Structures are given as C-alpha cells and as structure tokens.
Amino acid sequence: MNSTASKSSSSATSPNTVYIAGTLDTKGAELTFMRDILKGEGLQTAIIDLSTSGSASSAEIPPHEIAACHPNGASGVFTGDRGTAVAGMTLAFERWMSEQEKIGGIIAAGGSGGTALVSPAFRTLPVGIPKVIISTVASGNTEQYVGPSDILMLHSVADVQGINSITREVLGNGAGALAGMVKARRSAKVVTDDKPAIGLSMFGVTTPCVQQITALMESQYDCLVFHATGTGGRAMEKLLDDGFVQGVIDITTTEICDMVAGGVFAADEDRFGAVIRTNTPYIGSCGALDMVNFNAPETVPSHYEDRLFYEHNPQITLMRTTVEENEKMGKWIGERLNEMSAPVRFFLPEGGVSMLDAPDNPFWDPAADAALFNTLEATVNQNSNRQLIRTPHNINDPEFSELIVQSFRSLYGSSETKDSGA
C-alpha cells in the first residue's frame, strides 16, 4: 500500500502544490469550491481526502494514502467505529504531513471535529508556510488548535455546510487569503541573513532585561523574542526542535508558575524538552517566577481570595507566588535542568526576579525568592557543566544582562555547535 500511495502522490502533486484538506464524503462541495478558487488564481492544487468511511475517493490524495501512515496501517484508521476512526486518521494525517518536504500552502474548513482532525498536521509545518483553517470554533479559544504554530484561523460565521450566501463569502475569503499568501511568498525578495538565530523569552516585567541583552547581541545574532504566555515558550522550543533557532536565552520561565498554580499562561510538561532533545547549551533564569497570571479579577479562583494581587491591566491579574509554590517550581525546574547534558548556566537574581519583585515594590518577598533559589540548589546536580549562578542584581539591572551575555558567549563562542558540551 505504501508504494502505491507514494506513486499516486508523486504523480498528482509538485513541491509547490496547494492542498485542500478535509472529509470529501461530507464536505465535498465546500472543498471543491475552495479548490476552484485556488485553481482560478493559477495555483496547482490537490485535495487531501480525510474521510473514514472507506468508500472510493476521487481526491488526488485519497484516504488510503493518508491511512497508510498510521503506525498500524490502514487498519488503525478504518475501524468501523467513528470515534476511533477519526482519531486514527488524525494521527495518520499528522504523520503524513511531517514526511512532506515542501508544501506551497494548505487550507481546511469544518466544525470542531474537522478542525481537531486537521490542526495537529497543520502544526507540523514550518513557520512561514501558509496555513488557513476556516472553522466554526475560530471565535473562541483557539490555543488547542493553533498551539505554537502560525495557523491563520477564520471564523466561518455559519456552519460549514453547503454553499450558501454566507459560506460562499467566508470560504471565498479564506481561499483568497491563502492564494495571496502563497503568491506573496513566492515573489518575495530573498533575504539572506548569516546571523544565527537565538530565542529569548520575555514578559512585560522582564522587558528591560531582554532589551538590554538584544542590544548587546543583535549585531551578531538574529534575536527572536517570545512572549512567555504558554504558547510563547512552546513556540520558541518548537523552532529549536525544527532547527530554526540555534540557541536560547530563556530568561523568563514564568510559565512554570501558571502550570504549578493553575494560571492562564501555563507551560506544559514538555517545557525545556527541546533543549534536552537537541542537546543545546542552555542559558536560563527565574524571570517572573514571582507571579501567577489570571484574567480579570473576577476570574481568579475563590480559593485564592486571601492572596496578594496586582492588576497588570483590566484583563490580566497577577498573583504573588508563595514560599510553597516556589519550592514546587524550584524542584520541577531543577529536575529538568538535571536532564540537560549540554552546558547549563541558570542565574538566580537575588535582587528580584521581575520589576515587581524589587525593594519597595508590590511583590518584593525575599523569603519566597530564597525558597526558590534554595530548592534549586538542593535539586540541581551541579558540576562544571551544569551551574547555578547567584547574582546580587535584579533581573532587569544592566549588570545582570551583561552577565547573561558574557555567559552566552563563553558557551557558544563564535559558532552555534550544539554538541560542544555533550
């Protein structure tokens, strides 16, 4: 089956093919409508049929070709049970997509089920490849679909069911947007930048630190700054996994606070995983580990009513972390640092971990910070390769930024050799 699938794909597509993905047996009119718009723009197109009914398909990429990529082959998809079949096709499509070397662009349209079916595969594509999902759920929380990717989601307004006065407009706009992105990408002037890219994590309360670091390094490095909102950390690490980022200065690890205490900008359990997997030298610190993030004040869980809060803006409420939470974070981070085999330099700013955590400021709490630092030191297996470094400075002091840059340069030198400290 695999050889047949490969032959079908190679004869029907080219490296610049624009794909239209979905279940042809239930969304045939919608998929072909978008396909015809894209063809009218002069683009080579191919429909990827993700149907699980097992019936014959006229698509350029038929269901059996996708299903062959399931770990159990087609039997892992065509189970006869809708739930397991869709789950199997989701996995198979994700694996199929990850094997494609070059794609011009891709689009899909559907409800919550169709969006969940295609989005994991879309997320495997590199940043920059145009990807559009027209969805009934695009007006709500889309993090579970977009994740760390650059998927463009367009609210379908009406259900994606048939071609009518609403879907004709919205599907047409989505297809037109994809066509515009694909054409712009093809005609864009090639920009050559020999500077290696590094990822830096930042929050509003660590902005001065990161700005100072980038000012010292931007002449030699392409400095990519990621907002530490949960997806920001995942985006930075995805680019590291994908080879787009050659190093990290992970100053702002605040997403661990929200993971531990139930905030809205939480990391997942794979935080630092890309650093471990890629054997990348790691520069990190405790940026904004003094705060848990919630939305407007009324969204704060009632069991936290006696805690110390700070209104960052009308939509974001910050809660000061306690000694106990800092101990939990120190242990979790320390155990992850122990899994890193490349050089590690993790800085402990005794003058405070954020703008708010400084003398005479709302979150200044030396006892909470000491609990974090002491737990880290008790957990991390320190040696010449893996070091915790205490500094008397606040994280936003210029002296702290200079120490970070010096440490980065000592680990990376003039090249970005990932295995230098293995």
At residue 375, the pLDDT reads 98
What does the pLDDT average to over 159-167?
A: 93
What does the pLDDT average to over 36-56?
A: 94
Same domain, yes or no: 50 and 177: yes
320 assigned to some structural domain: yes
422 assigned to some structural domain: no
Q: What CATH number is attached to the domain comprising 39?
A: 3.40.50.12020
Same domain, yes or no: 19 and 162: yes
Same domain, yes or no: 216 and 175: no
Does residue 276 surpass a pLDDT of 50?
Answer: yes
Same domain, yes or no: 182 and 278: no
At residue 213, the pLDDT reads 97
pLDDT digits 0-9 by tens, 384-416: 999 999 999 999 999 999 999 999 999 987 444
Same domain, yes or no: 347 and 268: yes
Percent of the chain exceeding pLDDT 70 equals 93
What does the pLDDT average to over 326-342?
A: 98
Does residue 300 surpass a pLDDT of 50?
Answer: yes
What does the pLDDT average to over 5-26?
A: 71
419 assigned to some structural domain: no
Same domain, yes or no: 27 and 58: yes
* Residue 261 and residue 289 in contact, taking contact as beta carbons nearer than 8 Å: no
Same domain, yes or no: 78 and 173: yes
At residue 314, the pLDDT reads 86
417 assigned to some structural domain: no
- Asked which of 137, 156, 187 is the last residue of a domain, the reply is 187
Q: At 299, is the pLDDT very low, low, confident or very high (cuts 50, 70, 90)?
A: very high
- Asked which of 187, 209, 235 is the last residue of a domain, the reply is 187
192 assigned to some structural domain: no
- Asked which of 135, 168, 187 is the last residue of a domain, the reply is 187
Same domain, yes or no: 275 and 166: no
What does the pLDDT average to over 15-30?
A: 92
Does residue 39 surpass a pLDDT of 80?
Answer: yes
Q: At 193, is the pLDDT very low, low, confident or very high (cuts 50, 70, 90)?
A: low
Same domain, yes or no: 248 and 129: no
418 assigned to some structural domain: no
At residue 13, the pLDDT reads 60
CA distance 38 to 44: 8
Same domain, yes or no: 299 and 408: yes
At residue 23, the pLDDT reads 95
Same domain, yes or no: 141 and 168: yes
Same domain, yes or no: 234 and 144: no
pLDDT digits 0-9 by tens, 60-117: 999 999 999 999 999 999 998 989 999 999 999 999 999 998 899 999 999 999 999 9
Handedness of CA 265, 267, 272, 273 (dihedral sign): negative
At residue 402, the pLDDT reads 97
pLDDT digits 0-9 by tens, 107-162: 999 999 999 999 999 999 998 999 999 999 999 889 899 998 999 999 999 999 99
Q: Domain containing 142: what range?
A: 2-187
Q: At 9, is the pLDDT very low, low, confident or very high (cuts 50, 70, 90)?
A: very low
Percent of the chain exceeding pLDDT 90 equals 84
Q: If you average pLDDT over every residue of the chain, what do you get?
A: 91
What does the pLDDT average to over 309-323?
A: 93
Number of domains in the chain: 2
The Cα-based distances of 121 to 64, 66, 97, 100, 149 in angstroms read: 17, 11, 6, 11, 11
Beta strand pairing call for 45-49 and 105-110: unpaired
279 assigned to some structural domain: yes
